[in-house]
Chain A
Amino acid sequence: MELSDILTKDSIIPCAKVTSKRQLLQLLAERAADVAKIDSQSAFETLMSREQLGSTGLGNGIAIPHGKIKGLGHVVAIFARLDQPIEFDAVDDQPVDIAFMLLAPEGSGADHLKALSRVARCLRAEHMVDELRATRDKERLLEVLSTPAEHIAAA
């Protein structure tokens, strides 16, 4: 699976102005609600409850909030590049400035995990993250994120 399969221009927030983890998740949930026609409150609660299990901040300023939603048609992805880094309780205690949210339908076991591992893998490639941080242009962000898996080749 490629990220270009689940991302569109609408699912990219090039310069999110948020000041807390809660606000960020709220913003992501609202955008996801717009894109996928779901209830933003339940999306937000899903993301929050996953954070209870342990922060989805991977380190290096990157977070991948995710969760399952009943009745969703397919995997929904929202990418946000933050204007100012925020506290996210990440493993390395670094503030987060790149967030990639994934919501998957309930019962989509393997699909969800594939998307997750793909995103995690992608955001682990340093040159990729550098490029994401270097631009505020929607098109460019989408282009960088759409690099095929083999070309990132970071395992």
Chain B
Amino acid sequence: MDVTIYLIILVGTGLVLAAAFTSLIAFRFGAPLLLVFLLIGLVSGVDGLGIDFDNAPVAYFVGSIALAVILFDSGFGTAARSLRQAAAPAVVLSTLGVLLTAGLLGAAAHFILGISWLEGLLLGAIIGSTDAAAVFFLLRTGNVSIRDKVRSTLEIESGSNDPMAIFLTLTLVSAITAGTAAGGGAIATQIALGFLQQMGIGAVLGLGGGWLIVRLTQRLNLDRGLQPIFVLALSLMLFGLAGLAGGSGFLAVYLAGLVAGNQLKSPAALKRFQDGITWLAQIIMFLVLGLFATPSQFPVLALPALALAIILMFFARPLAVTLCLLPFRFPRVETAFTSWVGLRGATSILLALTPLIAGLENGRLLFNVAFLIVMVSLLVQGWTILPLARRLGLVVPPRIGPLAKYEVDLPGSAHHELLAYRVVEESPVVRGTRIPRWARPALVVRDNRSMNYQLAGRPQPGDHVYIFVPSTYPRLLDRLFASRAELTADDVDFFGAFTIDPERPASEMADVYEVELSEEERALSIADLIRARLGGEAEYADRVALGAVELIVREADEDGTITAVGLSVEPSAPRPVPVYLSFGELYDWLRAQVRLRMGAKPANSASTSDDTTPDKDAGSASSGEVKP
């Protein structure tokens, strides 16, 4: 007995270590890391090193927990900003898109594998979702920044389509086991009703649970070390609860993660923990699934599986994506890229276990085919995504920026970041541009000596400066410390697009830009308003946020008289609520969308085309200017 325990621990940790170790190599080669994990599982399994693991329920159990952890984390890491940008297309992709892909692939499977229509559809559903882990990893690796909107859409899609695929698969499995007596219509009704129930309960519990997690962690004064455990346990508890209540546990954890990640006040420590636990979950999931498979059964199925993978990558997914994105007018290249980043992964293999567990006649066949398709997808798409992004012109050149960014959990300092810069030669501060007071370094390190800003005098090239700054301003700091470009008066980011006469009454400005001011404030001049809001003296480059606009002191003389003011209309402050929680918001959004649709002109012929074969579109790649 003792020996077995030691042996299992030895082998288990050995495999995890091997996986973690190969990550070093995989990063070098840009190989799809998750495929490597899977391969290690395969190699160690029954046909390789001979670890005989053939317990489908255990594999499914472990995999489900791992997936719940991964989904919570992917929700946790999704910023409210991305959500606003891409929620609509992503949600369509992850519901309708999954359905379409599953249908198309199901039909192909019916003919190629000679299985029944329902079984075909089941295979389609199993392969229906893209893999959050694979997509996240590929998009974030290699120091390549893909345009924000595309990235957000893909990331949100990959996180939110798992619940849909899981739901479809489970429904179809139970329909098949229930017998073929039920007609197509009955199954469709069952799916529709089940969908409403599962997603409805999942969504309600997820949002509510997320809210509760936020409240509880903030109310209870937990030890720092315990807090992540507390959050993790709560999220898994929610997963179990939603499942028991007949909802989608996976949707619940994803949404809870979304709410928690965006509303927790000090997520930095939690994030680090989440990162670690998610890696572990991924490694375990892929290892277990790799171990479970029996590669010696693969060769017979290699050809049909390859054919299905090709249909999936070049036909089913592109068609589904194109149809889903039609209303959103994505440019053609972005549609093409979205189609290609349809990586399948652990979720699909996990789902492929369900026919086996249910004891379906063709269970093993479905599992093997699904496994092979996932391998092909990870290999082919995983390896080509970054080159493709480059060819399509979707890669935004790396922005200049701070050396390091620390999110600090300081008591009382909500939403400040600590940024470290190395002062660049010929940067504006070196040339003598004055440093606005919100950008004054807390610490200057020169020649390994730390000194405070007043003693250090003008920053010199090579200095390291550390600055605490509200989280909306870092891009302005980039401009001051890390850019070689001279800071000119028409630098719009810095000084605002429009010029405002400081002598005019504040009420005029307030009326044009719908800024809410008190009666006393309305009576002031704009210059006095700025001084009042700053609480005293005004200085060069001071900024005052008024509603959605920002007033910037462009020039002020020695005695604090404001002589020139800029007005920025860039909405800089992110809004706090990540989900359309209120009906009012939902209504506004719907109205805006309807208005947009009604008034929209088919002006941009390039944006919605039916041609999405990725390698044809390179010609229309755009010229991306550098984002500062």
Which residues does A use to contact B, with CB under 8 Å? 1-2, 4-8, 49-50, 52-56, 58-60, 64, 66-68, 74, 91-92, 106-114, 116-117, 120, 124-125, 127, 142-143, 146, 148, 150-155
Contacts and interface: CB of A to CB of B under 8 A. Distances in A.
Given A109-B548, A148-B331, A117 B628 contact: no
Contact of B508 (A4, A49, A56, A91): A49
Contact of A53 (B148, B497, B508, B595): B508
B514 A7 contact: no
B569 A91 contact: no
Contacts of B110: none
A54 B513 contact: no
B604 A116 contact: no
Interface in B578-597: 592, 595-596
B362 interface: no
Given A91-B489, A146-B604, A53 B627 contact: no
A75 B497 CA distance: 20
B595 to A, nearest CB: 7
Contact of B511 (A1, A68, A113): A68
Contacts of A4: 600-601, 603-604
Nearest to B504: A53
Contact of B595 (A52, A74, A151): A74
A51 to B, nearest CB: 10
Given A146-B604, A153-B627, A113 B497 contact: no
B499 A55 contact: yes
A7 B602 CA distance: 11
Most buried by A among B149, B334, B511, B569: B569
A131 B596 CA distance: 27
A15 B475 CA distance: 38
A74 B549 contact: no
B511 A150 contact: no
Given A91-B489, A125-B625, A150 B571 contact: no
A148 B514 contact: no
A124 B492 contact: yes
Given A68-B512, A148-B604, A53 B624 contact: no
A152 B625 CA distance: 7
B396 interface: yes
Contacts of B604: 2, 4, 146, 148
Interface string B453-480: 0000000000000000000000100000
A1 B148 CA distance: 15
B622 interface: yes
Contacts of B396: 153
Top 7 A-B pairs, shortest CB-CB distance:
A151-B622, A4-B603, A54-B500, A120-B497, A109-B514, A117-B569, A54-B499
Given A109-B548, A113-B569, A150-B147, A53 B603 contact: no
B497 A150 contact: no
Contacts of A67: 512
Most buried by B among A106, A124, A146, A150: A150
Contacts of B623: 127, 151
Given A53-B512, A109-B514, A113-B571, A155 B493 contact: yes
Given A5-B599, A152-B625, A114 B571 contact: yes
Contacts of B601: 4-5, 7-8
Contacts of A151: 331, 622-624
A91 B490 contact: yes
